[in-house]
């Protein structure tokens, strides 16, 4: 189940980032960052299931930082 979510998020992020690069409309950057944070969170959970605790916790901590950055972007703190 988490593998499917990771694949779907990966495809959506690639499409969304391509759109951002082509249109140069960086207003939508915080939305993409939420997707990247979700992808890192799912990746961290998958790594924890595989008993790779260091990479699992590292991915989860990085996802929390990315969520923080995206919230700052939504609030206009750039």
Q: What is the pLDDT of residue 33?
A: 92
Q: What is the pLDDT of residue 76?
A: 81
Quickly list H helices, the chain: 2-23, 29-49, 53-74
Q: What is the pLDDT of residue 78?
A: 56
- What pTM does this model have? 0.87
* Unique residue bearing structure tokens 């779907």: 8
Nearest to 41 by CA among 58, 69, 63: 63
Domain locations in the chain as residue ranges: 2-74
Question: What distance in Å separates the CA atoms of residue 35 and residue 10, rounded to the nearest whole number?
Answer: 9
Q: What is the pLDDT of residue 28?
A: 87
Q: What is the pLDDT of residue 77?
A: 61
Residues of the chain short of pLDDT 50, as ranges, are none
């Amino acid at each position: 189940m988490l593998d499917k979510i990771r694949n779907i998020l990966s495809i959506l992020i690639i499409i969304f980032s391509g759109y951002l690069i082509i249109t140069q409309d960086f207003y939508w950057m915080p939305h993409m960052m939420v997707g990247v944070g979700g992808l890192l969170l799912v990746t961290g959970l998958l790594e924890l299931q595989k008993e790779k605790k260091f990479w699992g916790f590292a991915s989860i901590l990085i996802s929390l930082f990315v969520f923080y950055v995206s919230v700052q972007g939504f609030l206009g703190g750039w």
